[in-house]
Structure 1
Amino acid sequence: MSDYKHPLKDAEFILNELVQFDQLCADAGIDDVNSELASVILTEAGKLGSGVLAPLNVVGDLNHPTLGENGVQQTEGFSEAYREYLEGGWATLTADEAYGGQNLPNVLGTAVNEVWQSANISFALCPLLSQGAIESISHHGSDSLKENFLTKLVSGEWTGTMNLTESDAGTDLAAVKTKAVPNGDHYLITGQKIFITWGDHQMTDNIVHLVLARLPGAPAGVKGISLFIVPKFLLDENGNPAERNDAYAVSLEHKLGIHGSPTCVMSFGDNGGAIGYLVGEENNGLAYMFTMMNHARQGVGLQGLAVSEAAYQHALQYAKDRIQGSNRDGSRYPIIRFPDVRRMLMQMKSGTEAMRALCLVAAAEADRGNQSRVDLLTPIVKGWVTEFAQELTSLGVQVHGGMGFIEETGAAQFYRDARILTIYEGTTGIQALDLVGRKTLVNGGESLGALLDEMSADITRFEALGGQFTLAAQQCRTSLDNGIAARQWLLDSKEDKSAAGSSSVNFMMLFGYLCGGWLMAKSAMQAQAQLDAGASDSEFLQSKLVTAQFFCEHMMTRTQSCLASVVAGSDSIMALDEEQF
């Protein structure tokens, strides 16, 4: 990302006006952290992102990691960038002080992570996976595991991975075949995992793999899966990397995008068994891994925002520079003056602002300990934001016209990099089923109903603004009604076994646009209040009013089509025999 001015300013606005960051810190007893410090941290993150990480983005796209005798060699320049990342203390930002962390709020870490993901998504995947590993070990590891591994993971001296997927056990983790056999004070792990992000590299002197495996005699299905720490190097009596463990990257995947991130096939136990250490209790591994996965799912949603922001900035600059239109006097002008180009740019600009608001508000709920709201918003953050990112990064290519289809312009990389986001850490369909099943039907729609009530109160205040927001407020109210109707239809259709699965993605997308519009409406109200009070930053605030108006008027209308698909039910979806497809 070449220009951090607007996204960082927008992040500060959301932290202050929607998240109430100072109050959040005060409630958490973090007296030395406030919005002023947050602004400084975001500014410094922008410097590392633009000066160090962003220039490596295309380098990683063109020069992929390689696998040799010594394992995976990362793209040239990544190791030096990682050292700068560590020297700045960025790895420790939100971690527990007991293990060397700075204990800053999760929502601030989320805002900072957007910078890394926008600048270089392939690079940023490495610390993202480490953060997830820290979460899982912190919540479920024994004291000795925490002592041996957490401090080095928190500092970034070691990195972490997540090893779930196998060749015939993707989403269906019940089919996991990797085995763990007790052997004294540890276990011997044998099996193979695929799609392991940053499974091997030379940037640190150890890698901590979290591996799902099955013990002898374990119950069938997901209830028989355990979680293990399998380090690349075993530790000596002083806790330092020593003997090489029997865990190796045996091949690298050739991918559509995120080329700078090595995606490994990992083999455990080819030479007798990889030594692993049980995390928590036997056969509870899936629950423990979900601690890591839920953190990663919000992180992947953030990636959708970040790559969309990068695509927007790229397209915006091109639209300002590309001279194509002609006036009657023969003078020419840039394509940003064309109404349809402005439509695409406004869709990208307002869409990224709505995404950012949702990602940061959801992250703040974790800081507040509002777990039911975190659980509800996580599949929307992961599912809706990453799906919307497909459209926005595609628009980035479209703004470039024919040049967007040419790799050298750079627009295509964002489009390619974004494509994985709806797939890994649980596909869009998995997120949607999670939202309708575990987060709505399981409690009779209570959590979703509470969110809808909160939206209704805010939309009532928005309606009172009138003026330029009259139509926007009407669309908010209509979209809210669509959300209420979709919830009720779902609750009334429990007898149809195919109803939830058939409607789930449209249900999720409806609530994505509704949440985005709701938060943009709240942003508009806060921006207007600041303008009425004589705030000095009128240019940014006026822009916020327009992007909120655009999103509500043009994007929230999609809730109507989503609702129509939801209530159409499962009849036509399930009607054909398999042979008729």
Structure 2
Amino acid sequence: MPVFKAPVDDTLFILNDVLGIERYSNLAGFADASPDVVEAIVQEAAKFSEEVLFPLNQVGDQQGCKRADDGSVTTPEGFKAAYKQYCESGWLGLAADPEYGGQGLPYTLHTAIGEYMSSANMALMMYPGLTQGAIAAIQVHGDDAQKSKYLPKMIEGTWTGTMNLTEPHCGTDLGMLRTKAVPNGDGSYRISGQKIFISAGEHDMSDNIIHLVLARIEGAPEGTKGISLFIVPKFMVGEDGSVGKRNAVSCGSLEEKMGIHGNSTCVMNYDEATGYLIGGENAGLKAMFVMMNEARLGVGLQGQSIAEVAYQNAADYARERIQGRALTGPKYPDKKADPLIVHPDIRRTLMTIKSFNEAGRAFVIWTALKSDIAHRSEVEADATAASDILGLVTPVVKGVLTDRGFDHAVMAQQVYGGHGYIEEWGMSQYVRDARIAMIYEGANGIQALDLVGRKLGMNNGRAVMAFFKEVGDFCEDNRSDEKMAPYTKAIKKGLNDMQAASMWLMQNGMKDPNNAGAASTDYMHLFGLVVLGYMWGLMAKAAQQKLADGADNAAFYETKLATARFFMERVMPETAMRKARIETGAETLMALDAEAF
């Protein structure tokens, strides 16, 4: 049976010692997040994840969701009760606006504990995850009446939310969508069309489901310029907030999926359903992208989360399973064989995953802190600078952490040998669940194109230049510290590779757009390596300071430094390979005629 233990010590180390969130008490909500409060919340989230969510993970995978003839959907055994407990404990509204019933605590803290919950039960946590994205979209683009009507119930979890973009004939290319909206003359619209792949589209865990639906108003321009966003509730909502009659929206079927079986992924039919415009006519993509960006950070977190729980199980198995003898002679002569952990290649596998996971955790929390500064700082320059970095790294968080999350789930499965392929051990589920994160909320190839094609050049490259400066300044500030040299030298080498690759793209991407497209995935991963290396630099610096201060749990910090060394020596050199690939251009990729494939 699988195991899971929330990495509480690691989270607190990042929040308190690496990022120093106490320094941000000037931001709304941060003053309430004292170290004692943060630790209490993190510990409670760990307990809830381990004791309530995790025991239902395999249950959800094995049972899946069931659709009845009337279109209603039943979630797996225990999901409804666990979701109710999640809501009653206030987890959904932890970082939400207090004006509508939220606690207003940092999004940074919400993100940190979100890892535990996704590790414990990714499919179950998708229900409130989609709701939080819908809350964000309504918060930013809804009018006062819409906020008052929908947000309080959504923040308390009584109502859930979805996002409806994809149609059978269009996924990424939303300009082709056919769902239409016809004005009723009273401010509402009749929404007609079909959406597919709708996570949490129908279920039995909430009293109402608030669908956010992209559609084209009759007579609107073709393409993405003519797309609007609508609030389409499952049940109509009265002016007093009461739930009324059923709207003309239904689940036509459940998708048969490779993984995340515990989440109801639906085909949704809109048959002249009543909807309400949000964000203005033909401004739907702008409104929806608030939700999309929130979701992309959440999906990156899913990649991190699955890699963590898969790693924990592989490490446990490697310590316990005896197979073969150590190359240098028996380590356990009293046993018939040594445990797998003695073998260098097993350690290569585990150290690779471990070093990515710990840096990935810091990267996600660091990004969440940028989001808090962007949205909560009253200093315009600070908010703008943080917003620049947030926009720049969002595709990197999503693309790199989910690509690596899947790779590392597979690597963890490999540690088990044949047992990893058997369902009872649980590793197959992690591989299957991790795979979707590379696809939804914008497939990772699209994330790479977004990074190279849009984010790098925004505001004349202001964001990426700021990132270069932040990492470069860190290396320069620690150049005279001999203890930091093993880390800063490797980071600087990776940064040099990234800067050279960026310059190559500037010179060759405009000349031939295929050069940018051919380079995009390698550039995204090159960026990922540099930012993860930077996270390790920050962690190494903090760990050395804790050791110098005589911290009690010295072994924790020494392990951090050893893992950082591994990353710098065995992983960071990949930046040179990524740079070399980028600089080959598009010629060989585009050489064959379509018929030759």
Q: Is TM-score (shorter-chain normalized) higher than 0.5?
A: yes
Structure 2 match to 1:9: 9
Structural mapping, 1:385-464, within 5 Å: 385-464=401-480
Q: Which moved more, 1:457-466 or 1:225-234?
A: 457-466
Find the aligned partners of 1:181 and 1:576 in 2 and give their Cα distance. Answer: 46
Structure 1 match to 2:73: 72
Q: Which moved more, 1:277-286 or 1:228-237?
A: 228-237
Secondary structure of the structure 2 residue equivalent to 1:251: strand
Instruction: Select the residue among 567, 574, 580 that pairs with 1:564.
Output: 580
Conserved in 2, the CA contact under 8 Å of 1:521 and 1:552? no
Find the aligned partners of 1:18 and 1:531 in 2 and give their Cα distance. Answer: 14
Instruction: Select the residue among 458, 462, 475 that pairs with 2:490.
Output: 475
Conserved in 1, the CA contact under 8 Å of 2:4 and 2:54? no
Structure 1 match to 2:116: 115
Instruction: Select the residue among 499, 503, 520 that pairs with 1:484.
Output: 499
Give the paired residue count.
576
Q: Which moved more, 1:222-231 or 1:496-505?
A: 496-505
Structure 2 match to 1:318: 317
Conserved in 1, the CA contact under 8 Å of 2:4 and 2:313? no
Q: Which amino acid aligns with 2:442?
A: G
Conserved in 1, the CA contact under 8 Å of 2:29 and 2:104? no
Find the aligned partners of 1:28 and 1:76 in 2 and give their Cα distance. Answer: 39
Find the aligned partners of 2:333 and 2:106 in 1 and give their Cα distance. Answer: 57
Find the aligned partners of 2:62 and 2:177 in 1 and give their Cα distance. Answer: 34
Conserved in 1, the CA contact under 8 Å of 2:4 and 2:120? no
Q: Which runs of 4+ in 1 moved over 6 A?
A: none
Structure 2 match to 1:100: 101
Secondary structure of the structure 2 residue equivalent to 1:194: strand
Structure 1 match to 2:353: 348
Find the aligned partners of 1:10 and 1:132 in 2 and give their Cα distance. Answer: 27
Structure 1 match to 2:378: none
Taking only the aligned residue pairs, the percentage that are identical comes to 45
Find the aligned partners of 2:4 and 2:290 in 1 and give their Cα distance. Answer: 34
Find the aligned partners of 1:471 and 1:235 in 2 and give their Cα distance. Answer: 60
- Tell me the TM-score normalized by structure 1: 0.97
Q: State the 1:26 CA deviation.
A: 3.3
Deviation string, structure 1 residues 184-207 (Cα, Å, up to 9, x no partner): 231100000000001000111100
Q: State the 1:45 CA deviation.
A: 0.4
Deviation string, structure 1 residues 385-416 (Cα, Å, up to 9, x no partner): 11111211111111111111111111111111
**Residues 288 and 324 of structure 1: CA distance in aligned 2, closer, same or farther (over 3 Å):** same
Residue 534 (structure 2) pairs with residue 529 (structure 1): no
Q: State the 1:549 CA deviation.
A: 1.1
Structure 1 match to 2:35: 35
Secondary structure of the structure 2 residue equivalent to 1:324: coil
Q: State the 1:90 CA deviation.
A: 0.7
Conserved in 2, the CA contact under 8 Å of 1:445 and 1:487? no
CA RMSD of aligned residues (A): 1.4
Q: Which amino acid aligns with 1:476?
A: I
Secondary structure of the structure 1 residue equivalent to 2:77: coil
Q: Which amino acid aligns with 2:262?
A: G
Structure 2 match to 1:357: 362
Conserved in 1, the CA contact under 8 Å of 2:195 and 2:267? yes
Q: State the 1:237 CA deviation.
A: 4.4
Structure 2 match to 1:233: 235
Structure 2 match to 1:517: 533
- Ranges in structure 1 where 5+ consecutive residues have no aligned partner: none
- Ranges in structure 2 where 5+ consecutive residues have no aligned partner: 375-385
**Residues 442 and 470 of structure 1: CA distance in aligned 2, closer, same or farther (over 3 Å):** closer
Secondary structure of the structure 1 residue equivalent to 2:454: coil
Structure 1 match to 2:191: 189
Q: Which moved more, 1:204-213 or 1:229-238?
A: 229-238
Find the aligned partners of 1:405 and 1:484 in 2 and give their Cα distance. Answer: 42
Q: State the 1:316 CA deviation.
A: 1.1
Find the aligned partners of 1:136 and 1:237 in 2 and give their Cα distance. Answer: 21
**Residues 25 and 69 of structure 1: CA distance in aligned 2, closer, same or farther (over 3 Å):** farther
Q: State the 1:29 CA deviation.
A: 6.2
Secondary structure of the structure 1 residue equivalent to 2:323: strand
Q: Which amino acid aligns with 2:169?
A: D
Residue 145 (structure 2) pairs with residue 140 (structure 1): no
Q: State the 1:460 CA deviation.
A: 3.0
Secondary structure of the structure 2 residue equivalent to 1:54: helix
Structure 2 match to 1:50: 50
- Tell me the TM-score normalized by structure 2: 0.94
Conserved in 2, the CA contact under 8 Å of 1:473 and 1:552? no
Residue 72 (structure 2) pairs with residue 63 (structure 1): no
Conserved in 1, the CA contact under 8 Å of 2:22 and 2:30? no
Q: Which moved more, 1:553-562 or 1:304-313?
A: 553-562
**Residues 29 and 237 of structure 1: CA distance in aligned 2, closer, same or farther (over 3 Å):** closer
Residue 89 (structure 2) pairs with residue 88 (structure 1): yes
Structure 2 match to 1:277: 276
Q: State the 1:49 CA deviation.
A: 0.4
Find the aligned partners of 2:92 and 2:519 in 1 and give their Cα distance. Answer: 40
Structural mapping, 1:148-297, within 5 Å: 148-183=149-184, 184-269=186-271, 273-297=272-296
